[in-house]
Amino acid sequence: MAGVSAACVACAALLAAAGAADGGGVPRTGVAFRTADAGLQGLFDAAEAKCASNVVQFTSSMRILVEGGGYNNAWIETQPMGGEMYAKRDIEVALNNQVIFLHGQRADGRLPGMVVSTAAALKRGCDTNAPEGYVWLPAHGIAADFEMFQGYCFPDPAWRMYVWAGRDRDYLLRLYKALEAHDAYLWRTRDSNGDGILETWCVWDTGEDNSSRLLTRNAPTRWPFEFPPGDPRTPDPQDPANMKRYWGEHAHAKLPPPRREDVLVPFASMDVMAYSYEGRATLARIARELDNGREEHWLREAAEVRRRLIERLWDPARHACFDRDRTGRRLDELIHNNLRCMWYGVFTQEMADAFIRHHLLNPDEFWTPVPLPSIAVRDPLYRNDEGNSWSGQPQGLTYQRAIRALENYGHVAEVTLVGRKLLPVLIRNGFKFAQQLDAQTGRPSGPKDDGYGPMMLAALEYISRMHGIHVDVAAGRVWWSAVDGTDFTYTQRWGDREWTLVCEAGRCSARLNGRERFTFTAGVRVVTGLDGEPIEVAGIEAEKRTVRVAVAGGADHAVALGPNEAMRWNGADAPSPLRAVPFR
């Protein structure tokens, strides 16, 4: 079992630095998986080992999980989310992946898009004069980069780490203030035309490196300014120095220098609206935990963001959201960013159902042989570019985000569908984890062909959803999952609890601290409390299944479940319908 000591001195110091009064230890965690399926075992073992190699001594006092695969810094679009996933194995590292961004927050509330270690910053030529876009923070041993938002997969993972690490109230208070300040910054600066829709100003704001949809609209790569492109103060892109500095990806693609008037950002952005929604929804959850009287306020504020997004960017006839350029013209390309919106939870159930049915599972758009390209394959802006491009090829980050995006809306059978497509490709690729894959062949590409953290974490998470155990710490739930056809033993440890699922010949035994709590037939998911008591049974396969669930010394029921159907477990009484989410 991987993990950290329950009396981790380094983590106690970290919590104190984050604002905790007494720090304290963190629970030990660890994962073990054994199966007779050689390909699946090899994939799990390789992902575990290579993820561990991405844990680095980032500063003198903090180990963190870096992105890997050629990326050795911490980006806010990847490392808080990736860190929280890694909490199943090492809570100290997972918590550091949140706190390092809190350390970098600027006085005006803005959180950094990237954090660079002291050593890396010095190597890049940073010094105490703080180059453009950076803030030098020698007390923390980092430089914080404010050239871009770089996505914002931070609020929910940081909240979850509060639960994983033992519910330290002072950490939560600091997180609350940080999220509140960052949301205020978004609305103070990123609604530059006052239309009530937040904006993206550069390619790296949404982390869509080298994306054709942004480069064809002459978006700058990076933007360290507090005014939008197109403002009279905008550096002239015709100047070669400005072209290199601010339109670097434009130059790399050998596109001619644009004129100022041809720069079509700011975009009214579904992504940045989703950043605010997620932040406000998380603030509501924290307010409830703190009992500070602000939960209803933040729920109303989050609902207002959703209302504006639907009113301005959602097209009910096309069942998707679309950004708008600075002239108000809709950008008609169909993009995977709708799935990102689902990760943040800003879509309604009906919107998510419609996007999945009409687009995500459409083989002419996103359901390619290797699914989830960044831009629908039949769109004119789709490009099969290798290396690091959000113009087409499916990304490890998209596979990572797709899990929560689908689960947010009860589309658990679709998670299995994605896993059934992705895992065999990674096995066929020799257990190598590249940043992106060819949508037709699965051929890997990226800055490097292996070691990319989001792809590795995605693989481990799909295994946990199909052949294992997932602990939903925020809900206090344990998911016990087994699809047909694979024998395995999966163990998840958290503190003094050890959950083990053993599946042999289609019969699954669920155990807590070595004691069998219940059995069930493979092909479904049983959801329990942390105590192993069943709460519901859910259909995670693409076909309807009738299974048996039997509690040790108690109720024994046959349960018929279609994909995305769930039944409430009622003990001695027969299970009753709980929900039914559309499938295909």
pLDDT digits (tens, 9 = 90+) for 229-241: 999 999 999 999 9
Higher pLDDT, 249 or 3: 249
pLDDT at 459: 98
User: What pLDDT does 136 receive?
Assistant: 86
**CA separation (Å) from 32 to 1, 142, 214, 315, 501?**
6, 34, 43, 45, 11
Q: What would the two tokens of residue 6 be?
A: 């329950």
Mean pLDDT of 387-395: 97
Q: Which pLDDT does position 194 carry in this prediction?
A: 97
Contact 322, 315 (CB under 8 A): yes
The sign one gets for the Cα dihedral 333, 339, 343, 349 is: positive
Mean pLDDT over 25-30 rounds to 92
The pLDDT value recorded for residue 25 is 79
- 211 or 117, higher pLDDT: 211
Domains of the chain, by residue range, sit at: 336-453, 475-580
Q: How far is CA 191 from the centre of its chain?
A: 25
pLDDT of residue 132: 84
Q: Which 8-state DSSP code applies to residue 356?
A: I
Amino acid in position 182: H
| Residue 22's pLDDT band (cuts 50, 70, 90) | very low
In the predicted structure, residue 9 carries a pLDDT above the cut 70? no
Question: What confidence tens digit (pLDDT) does each residue in 48-71 have?
Answer: 999 999 999 999 999 999 999 999
Mean pLDDT, all residues of the chain: 93
CA–CA separation, 182 and 299 (whole Å): 17
Which among 537, 527, 524 is positioned nearest to 574, based on CA atoms? 537
Nearest alpha-carbon partner for 398 in 379, 360, 372: 372
Residue 19 has pLDDT above 60, yes or no: no
Output the pLDDT for position 2: 32
| Cross-strand pairs, 68 | 71, 452
Which range among 118-132, 214-228, 523-537 shows the weakest confidence by mean pLDDT? 118-132
Bond before 229 cis per omega within 30 degrees? no
Distance between first and last Cα of the chain: 39
- pLDDT tens string 480-526: 999 988 999 999 999 999 999 999 999 999 999 999 999 999 999 99
Determine what percent of the chain is predicted with pLDDT higher than 70. Answer: 94
Spatial separation of the C-alpha atoms in residues 262 and 280, rounded to whole Å: 34
The Cβ of residue 283 has, within 10 Å, a number of other Cβ atoms equal to 24
